[in-house]
Structure 1
Amino acid sequence: MQKTGIARILQLGRILRCIAGSYQERGWAVTVEIIGQERHLWTVSRRLVHRRAVAEVFVTSLEQLSSSEFAAGVQLPRTHAFFGDHSGVSEYQYDPLAVMEAARQAAIAISQQYFDVPYRVAYILRTFSGQATDSTGWYIGGTPADLLLTVRVSRVRQRDNVVHGLDMTLTAERDGEPLMAIDGTFSWLPPDKWSALRTDVRKQLGLGEFDGSPAPGPRAHAALVRRKDPRNVVIGPPVVDAETARAALVVDTTHPTLFDYQLDHVPGTLLIEACRQTALVGLGVPDLCLRSVSSSFERFVELDIPAECVAVTTDSSRTGGEVTCRVVQHGAPAAHVTLRFKR
């Protein structure tokens, strides 16, 4: 029995020495180093990336390279209920929005781990863009995709000597081959300031305290937006007039990925996806793959009043196209998204 107990202690010690990543909660932190170059043993704490389901955590390790440079391990699953639900050629490739989600998670984790941002803050995504390469690394193979994100903080935003935002550039590679270049502007607010901001914004719109969103409206047919699962359709039946496609935003706050972490507004990932789906309808060209995203968010999109996605095709051919989108609510644009597709 004594030998068994010692063996278990030694085994636990080996596990702790190998853990990649960090853990932060309730004011205390435990940080453990990466051993060798193994970055994909398991995920970091779900709290570090503001996820509730462990299965939605893509970041597997964190490492500080300098005061402004960091590395993050990422593993993309070969199947995913949302990011892996596509038809046509996209069915056999990883979704660029999955890589951008991993980058978003890495940005949140780095801000907490290395810039002393408390866990209980609300993050605000102001700009978010990504440019995919033509790498064969996008294709789904016999093993999950182990990625390395190289992260550079290009600007630290401070107010009264307190950090409240970061500008970041992130480069994703797979097996040493560049996959995607991403950049984003992130900021955050403590709970009291977030509550005051949201109350003021809703008051300006003539809205009271948020008490729940209505049931989702009718959705477009899944096949029309290159999806298989109707639950992943986030726009209503679209209307196309020449180069312009329009569709109502469909928001399901029970969606296990888009609302894994409960929010009082529509998340940026859903807005970008709504633009992609509306853009695909407007282009009307089969087997197109998303290759670049450029997005900026001017206002919150509320959950309890209608919003519309408007997509204007600015360039189109049989091999691809570019679409400029905006999400409009309460008569004003809330988000601008430009997408480029390629066959």
Structure 2
Amino acid sequence: MARHLTVAERVRPAATRHLIHRPRSAVQAAPEYGVSREERFALAGDMPYDHPLFNDGLGHVHDVQLFVETVRQVGTFVGGRYFRVPLDRRCRFESVEFALTTPAAWRVRENPSHMAVDLHASALSVTSGIPGGLRLRGTMEIDGTAGCTGHADLRFLAPSGPRRPAPTRWSSPTTGRHGPPPVDPHTVGRCDPRNVVVSAPARTDDTLRTELLVDPGHPVFFAESGEFVPGTLLIEAIRQTALLAATRIRGYDASRTHVVRASVRFPRDAALGLPLTCAARVDPGDDAPSTSIRSSVTQLGSVVAEAELTVAHSTSSGGS
């Protein structure tokens, strides 16, 4: 049975011991309605080197999912510590947006890379002194070079009742999951079959569709138990389907293709145990080194995630 990772292991360099709170001045620090409205934090550490997801790539570039998961982890932690959010509240993404400011900074180097993240957290929808969510704006440097900028809105939801046991969704000869066979890991920038979360695609004109392969036993995506599909898994499914669309429709090389910008919204929760489909439509442009892709994830006819992405193709294996 897979061992679930601890908080420190899931984002190894982003453990809370590296998180520094930057207090405001005495004038700025007077909270309204007993809750702080905005706080600033700094996070520093080495980029992960043996993480089961963030280092499961083709070895050329670091995984931008690290930025997304870092924002989520920090938002969850500071929500309770600095914004008085009750610990039993479930944290979910409402939206995420990021852009690689210097794609070359994400190249894997011979020596370990160092990251530094500057984050601003602002309270949203404050009721009776408790925020219903947080807006986090952050910049990330890798070895002193600007690597990424982005923001995310997190929503904290009160428990709705006893949790139902998570269902088992799918199986295949290589992974033991039920349902349609997954694509080859290398076609979506992965090496470990367990980190493949989409099926072989079906194409209609400039649109590719995949079925999501949700494994509730995954040690990273489901490190925290719950009855909904995590936003990080939906983002990964969107990325993998977009990569398939770019390679199969635009002819890009999967080993040299990466998402350099993404804007993702989550209109509603995705329930475990029900089918999910991801569609990616490629912008019918010319043969430029980058292309725009619109994606959506649907469940029983309702959109649970939608995204606009820019996918870039480099001429060398080291990234843009």
282, 307, 310: which one aligns with 1:337: 307
Relative distance call for 1:186 and 1:82 in structure 2 (3 A) is same
Tell me the distance in 1 between the aligned counterparts of 2:292 and 2:258: 12
Partner of residue 195, structure 1 = 161
CA-to-aligned-CA distance 1:99-149 (integer Å, 9 cap, x gap): 221122122222222112233321121011111112532122244332222
269, 272, 279: which one aligns with 1:300: 269
Tell me the distance in 2 between the aligned counterparts of 1:312 and 1:171: 29
Alignment of 1:90-129 (within 5 A): 91-129=59-97
2:283 counterpart SS class? strand
Alpha-carbon shift at residue 253 of structure 1 (Å)? 1.0
Tell me the distance in 1 between the aligned counterparts of 2:169 and 2:102: 41
Tell me the distance in 1 between the aligned counterparts of 2:103 and 2:199: 33
Partner of residue 35, structure 2 = none
Tell me the distance in 2 between the aligned counterparts of 1:80 and 1:307: 27
2:230 partner amino acid: P
Tell me the distance in 2 between the aligned counterparts of 1:163 and 1:110: 12
1:262 counterpart SS class? coil
Of 97-106 and 295-304, deviating more is 97-106
1:290 aligned to 2:262? no
Partner of residue 270, structure 1 = 233
Tell me the distance in 2 between the aligned counterparts of 1:227 and 1:211: 25
1:86 aligned to 2:49? no
1:319 aligned to 2:289? yes
Alignment of 1:185-264 (within 5 A): 185-191=153-159, 194-195=160-161, 212-215=167-170, 216=177, 217=179, 218-264=181-227
Partner of residue 3, structure 1 = none
Alignment RMSD, CA only?
Answer: 2.2
Alpha-carbon shift at residue 302 of structure 1 (Å)? 1.2
Partner of residue 144, structure 1 = 112
Relative distance call for 1:76 and 1:146 in structure 2 (3 A) is same
CA-to-aligned-CA distance 1:199-239 (integer Å, 9 cap, x gap): xxxxxxxxxx5662333422122222222211111011111
1:92 counterpart SS class? coil
Relative distance call for 1:108 and 1:223 in structure 2 (3 A) is same
1:79 partner amino acid: D
1:292 counterpart SS class? strand
Q: TM-score by structure 1 length?
A: 0.75
2:86 partner amino acid: P
128, 135, 138: which one aligns with 1:170: 138
Q: TM-score by structure 2 length?
A: 0.80
Unpaired stretches in structure 1, ≥5 consecutive residues: 1-49, 199-208
CA contact (8 A) 1:155 1:168 kept: no
Partner of residue 62, structure 1 = 20
Alpha-carbon shift at residue 184 of structure 1 (Å)? 0.7
2:311 partner amino acid: F
1:195 counterpart SS class? coil
Partner of residue 317, structure 2 = none
Relative distance call for 1:337 and 1:115 in structure 2 (3 A) is same
Tell me the distance in 1 between the aligned counterparts of 2:161 and 2:263: 29
Relative distance call for 1:98 and 1:140 in structure 2 (3 A) is same
- Bigger Cα Rg: 1
Higher helix fraction (1 or 2) = 1
Tell me the distance in 2 between the aligned counterparts of 1:253 and 1:241: 30
Q: Which protein, 1 or 2, shows the higher relative CO under an 8 Å CA cutoff with sep ≥ 6?
A: 2
Tell me the distance in 2 between the aligned counterparts of 1:156 and 1:214: 35
Number of aligned residues: 278
Tell me the distance in 1 between the aligned counterparts of 2:298 and 2:269: 11
Unpaired stretches in structure 2, ≥5 consecutive residues: 30-37, 171-176, 315-320
CA-to-aligned-CA distance 1:261-293 (integer Å, 9 cap, x gap): 112111111111111111111111111122111
1:72 aligned to 2:17? no
Alpha-carbon shift at residue 187 of structure 1 (Å)? 1.8
Partner of residue 279, structure 2 = 310
2:82 partner amino acid: Y
Of 306-315 and 117-126, deviating more is 117-126
